[in-house]
Amino acid sequence: MNKFLQEVLDGLNAQPKHLHSKYFYDEIGDRLFQQIMASDEYYPTDCEMEIFKNQTAQLAKTLKNGFDSFDLVELGAGDATKSSYLLKQLVADKVDFDYFPIDISTNTIKHLEENLPKEIKGLKVCGFNGEYFEMLEKTRQFSDKRKVVLFLGSNIGNMPVADAFDFAKTLRKSLSKTDLILVGIDLKKHPRVIRAAYNDAKGYTKKFNLNLLRRINNELEADFNIEDFEHYPSYDPITGSCKSYLISLKKQTVRIGEADFIDFEENEPILMEISQKYSVKETDEMASQAGFKPVKHFFDDKNWFLDAVWECK
């Protein structure tokens, strides 16, 4: 059985029902995510972009940390819009470094390898296509230089808190003493701002969530009636847990493939995504528990987003 089908069935047969947000990103999902990022309400991208635009020299100096050369590894590089500010600065500073973007998408890696060196003269790009930790290990076999790892965009927020702590621990174990990481984390703030970011007026986030049901219909031969599910975003300002659900609007049975049937009660939720928000203190705790030492905090002007630099202890 393919992994997508297996995970969908496991999630929908579980109690409470859930689906994995990593499956949001098919071609339509990618486009909707671009529209979300460009929406008035979704602030994290703009905040992190502001940090990379306005504090580039300071970022470059902190990551260099007195060393002459290193490899800059980016986990989930995407289109590298934010990191390209840093790349330009490092090239202008004549730092001896290569850029190793890691991404699950072959197209993304191909695009970066072809276009970035044209855009940034003198930049050497060597992409790695696959899972983060496997590829990180490959970069270490490929080059024994010190590693500076970027993990931007609050992607860490899409893991439940316990998984994020485990992820940080695994990351620490894959690194050596002089390595550094720069991790982008969305911070706790007024709940109204967070709720709006996951409930934009133009309905891109709603479509983004419902698109996964459409994807399951198309790729797994299911018969979800999209109109029978409603997007419901929630935010708990105490735990910092921002969750998106799809609510079944009636009692119904959905077929997946030829032989699997999922029963829904009226008003039964499917948990679609977690976008965890942290306090600065909580991120420092995550760093320490994982074996890192938080050495520098970069904030945007509103203090809504944090790019934290963690040294290996």
Residues near ligand AVI (CB under 6 A) are 36, 44, 153-155, 157-158, 198, 205, 208, 273, 275
Residue 31 or 138 with smaller CB distance to ligand AVI? 31
| CA distances in angstroms from 142 to 79, 208, 239, listed in the order given | 23, 37, 41
Nearest approach, Cβ of 207 to ligand AVI (angstroms)? 11
Q: What is the residue type of 77?
A: A
Residue 89 or 276 with smaller CB distance to ligand AVI? 276
Among residues 151, 182, 165, which one has the least CA distance to residue 276?
A: 165
Nearest approach, Cβ of 193 to ligand AVI (angstroms)? 13
Residue 89 or 209 with smaller CB distance to ligand AVI? 209
Residue 138 or 214 with smaller CB distance to ligand AVI? 214
Residues 6+ apart with CB under 8 A from 214: 28, 224, 226
- Paired with 241 in beta bridges are 236
Nearest approach, Cβ of 123 to ligand AVI (angstroms)? 25
In this chain, which residue has its C-beta nearest to ligand AVI? 275
| Alpha helices (H) along the chain | 3-13, 27-38, 44-54, 56-64, 81-92, 106-119, 132-142, 161-173, 191-197, 204-220, 280-290
SS3 303: coil
SS3 219: helix
Residue 65 or 234 with smaller CB distance to ligand AVI? 234
Nearest approach, Cβ of 150 to ligand AVI (angstroms)? 14
Nearest approach, Cβ of 111 to ligand AVI (angstroms)? 18
